């Protein structure tokens, strides 16, 4: 199975800051990676698909990059609505797997 490892697990940041979250795969997954945002008590919401494609309706301050085994999610200017937990997920091979999550907290 492909293991997905995110870093950091928790991140404290201020409104307006640039934030980067990293996701590493235990083997190459090409560009078959998605990023999701989840707020407490809510279902996840897709942000990025195929590593770098912005999902419909997602603000342009979110961006994704990477291929192979290393990927990043960047929020160019953190907004109050962005404080949440973020997950990466590979869909290169079954079983699909998620990273453990990265919580973005208010500094």
Q: How far is CA 5 from CA 22, 28, 58, 80, 100, in A?
A: 8, 13, 24, 26, 7
Q: How far is CA 38 from CA 30, 93, 94, in A?
A: 25, 23, 23
Contact range with another protein by CB under 8 A, out of 17-25, 42-50, 66-74, 75-83? 42-50
Distance CA(9)–CA(15), nearest Å, equals 19
Contact range with another protein by CB under 8 A, out of 18-26, 68-76, 92-100? 92-100
Q: Is 98 in the site for another protein (CB under 8 A)?
A: yes
Nearest-approach distance from CB 74 to another protein, in angstroms = 17
Tokens, residue 33: 């990676």
Q: Is 21 in the site for another protein (CB under 8 A)?
A: no
Provide the binding-site residues for another protein, judged by CB under 8 A.
Answer: 1, 32, 34, 36, 38, 43-46, 48-50, 53, 55-56, 85, 87, 89, 91, 94-101
């Amino acid at each position: 199975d492909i293991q997905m490892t995110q870093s950091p697990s928790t991140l404290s940041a201020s409104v307006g800051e640039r934030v980067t979250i990293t996701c590493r795969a235990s083997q190459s997954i090409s560009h078959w990676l998605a990023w999701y945002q989840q707020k407490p008590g809510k279902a996840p919401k897709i942000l990025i698909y195929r590593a770098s494609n912005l999902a419909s309706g997602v603000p342009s301050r979110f961006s994704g990059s990477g291929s192979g085994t290393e990927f990043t999610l960047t929020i160019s200017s953190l907004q109050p609505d962005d404080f949440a937990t973020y997950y990466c997920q590979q869909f290169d091979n079954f079983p699909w797997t998620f990273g453990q999550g990265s919580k973005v907290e208010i500094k």
